[in-house]
Structure 1
Amino acid sequence: MLKSPVRTLYFENSIGRIWEEPGGYVRLEYRPGPRETVQFRAILTHLGQALARHRWSKALIDQREMAPFTPAELDWMTNEWLPGAVRECGYRHGAALVAHDVFARLAMNQLVMASRGLNHTYRTFESEEEATAWLAQVPDGR
C-alpha cells in the first residue's frame, strides 16, 4: 500500500491516539492516568487493525506519559493481544518510547520478557529520533 505523505489520525479514545505515519508504521500515543478495560482493549484492537489495513509490520508505542499496566492488562496483552497481533495482523517490530514512570517501565519489561517466543521484536528508546531511525532501518513486510 502506498505511504501517505502526511500522518493521519486513525483512532482515538480515552486511552490514547493511533496515528498512521508517513514512514510506513503505526504510532500509539498513550495518555496519562488509569485505563478502563474496554477502552484499553479497544485501542490495542484498533492498533492491530491499522497494521493489517496497510500490511505494515511496525509500530511506535509512545509510553512516556503512560501509567503502569495492571496485572490484568499485562496478562491480556501477553496471552491474547500480542500473539494475535503477530499471527493475524503481521506485527513484527515495536519501538517503545519508555515511560517516565518507573513502574510502567517495569511492566513493559515484563511484557517483553513474556513475549520472547513470538516472531516479534520490541526495542525501547529514550528519544523519538532514535526510535523512528530504528523503525526506518528494519525491513518492511511480514
Structure 2
Amino acid sequence: MTIAARTIYFKNDVGCLWEEPLAYLRLEYCAGSREESQFRALLTHTRQALQRRGWSKLLIDQQQMSPFTSGEEAWMTTEWLPRAVLENGYRYGAVVVAHDVFARLAMTNVVMTSRRLGHIYRSFEHDAEAIAWLVSLV
C-alpha cells in the first residue's frame, strides 16, 4: 500500500498551505515582511480548506516567520480565529515555533487572546514532534 503524497492547496508570497495525507493542513510561513492582503488571503484559504476537508488539525510552521503586525494580530484574533473555530471546525494547532523571538511573543499573545474559543495550541521546536502530536489526536 502506498501513502498519498501531500498536495499544495494554496501558495502566495506569505506562505504555502499543504493538504497532508495524514488528515491535517500544514501552513508554512515564508521569511520577510508581508502584505496584509496576502496574509489574509492565505489564512482565508486555510479556513476554506478546513471546511472543504472536514479536518480540525493544523500544523503551523512559523520557523521563518517575522512577527505579526498589530493589524494582522487584531484580524486573526477578532475575525479569523473565531470563524475558523466556530464555522470551520478548527480544533488543534501544532505550532513549530519561529526562530525570531518577537514572532514567538506575537504568537503567544494570539494564543492567550483566543483561549476562550476552546481550541488547543501546542508549541514544538521540531516538525516530527508536532506531527506526532497531531496524528495522535482522534
**In 2, Cα distance between the equivalents of 1:8 and 1:128?**
17
RMSD, aligned CA: 0.8
- Offset of residue 103 of structure 1: 0.1
Q: Which residue is 1:137 aligned to? A: 136
**In 1, Cα distance between the equivalents of 2:77 and 2:6?**
29
**In 2, Cα distance between the equivalents of 1:119 and 1:8?**
29
TM-score by length of 2: 0.97
Matched, 1:14 2:34: no
Q: What stretches of structure 2 of length at least 5 have no aligned partner?
A: none
Aligned amino acid, residue 82 of structure 1: L
Q: What stretches of structure 1 of length at least 5 have no aligned partner?
A: none
**In 2, Cα distance between the equivalents of 1:122 and 1:42?**
22
Q: Which residue is 1:87 aligned to? A: 86
- Offset of residue 89 of structure 1: 0.6
- Offset of residue 138 of structure 1: 1.3
Matched, 1:36 2:25: no
Q: Among the aligned pairs, what percent are the same residue?
A: 60
- Offset of residue 23 of structure 1: 0.7
Structure 1 residues 69-114: Cα deviation after superposition (integer angstroms, max 9, x where no partner): 0111111000100000001110000000000000000000000000
Q: Which residue is 2:68 aligned to? A: 69
**In 1, Cα distance between the equivalents of 2:86 and 2:4?**
28
- Offset of residue 5 of structure 1: 1.3
**In 1, Cα distance between the equivalents of 2:66 and 2:98?**
8
**In 2, Cα distance between the equivalents of 1:114 and 1:12?**
27
**In 2, Cα distance between the equivalents of 1:125 and 1:103?**
16
**In 1, Cα distance between the equivalents of 2:118 and 2:51?**
16
- Offset of residue 119 of structure 1: 2.0
Aligned amino acid, residue 32 of structure 1: A
- Offset of residue 40 of structure 1: 0.4
Could you say what secondary structure the match of 2:116 adopts? coil
Aligned amino acid, residue 90 of structure 1: G
Could you say what secondary structure the match of 1:34 adopts? coil
